[in-house]
Amino acid sequence: MSGHDLFLGFYIFALASFVGYQVIGKVPALLHTPLMSGTNAISGISLVGSLVAAGSNHAMASKLMGFVAVICATINVVGGFMITDRMLRMFKKRGPGGDDK
């Protein structure tokens, strides 16, 4: 991998991070929960891709970046499931005495 390819990869990563932050920052707080639960499948796909990158037979820097991507994607998937569960609990009927059983 040449220095130009590495620079291009970092440039694309930085640009995607900036655009993603800008897009999510414009979403109203009321829509964050449905947005998170709706994008959980995409996070799962990125987790599979990051596992492939981490397990590939390339340079150590690629493996390290793949490992970091696995960590980030796993946090995203687990957080998405936790938020979805919390959202679904809001719609359950309350048990006797007003508790959430």
Question: Is residue 10 assigned to a domain?
Answer: no
In a domain, 1, yes or no: no
Within a domain: residue 22?
no
In a domain, 17, yes or no: no
Give 96's DSSP letter: G
pLDDT at residue 99, as a whole number: 57
The pLDDT tens digits of the residues spanning 41-73 come to: 777 888 888 888 888 888 888 888 888 989 988
pTM of the model: 0.55
Q: How far apart are CA 55 and CA 52, in angstroms?
A: 5
* pLDDT (0 to 100) of residue 59: 86
Cα distance between residue 49 and residue 69, in whole Å: 9
Q: How many domains does the chain have?
A: 1
Q: Is there a domain that residue 100 lies in? A: no
Report how far residue 33's alpha carbon sits from residue 4's, in angstroms, rounded to the nearest whole number. Answer: 39
Classify residue 39: in a domain, yes or no.
yes
Question: Does some domain include residue 8?
Answer: no
pLDDT over threshold 90, residue 15: yes
Residue 62 lies in domain = 28-92
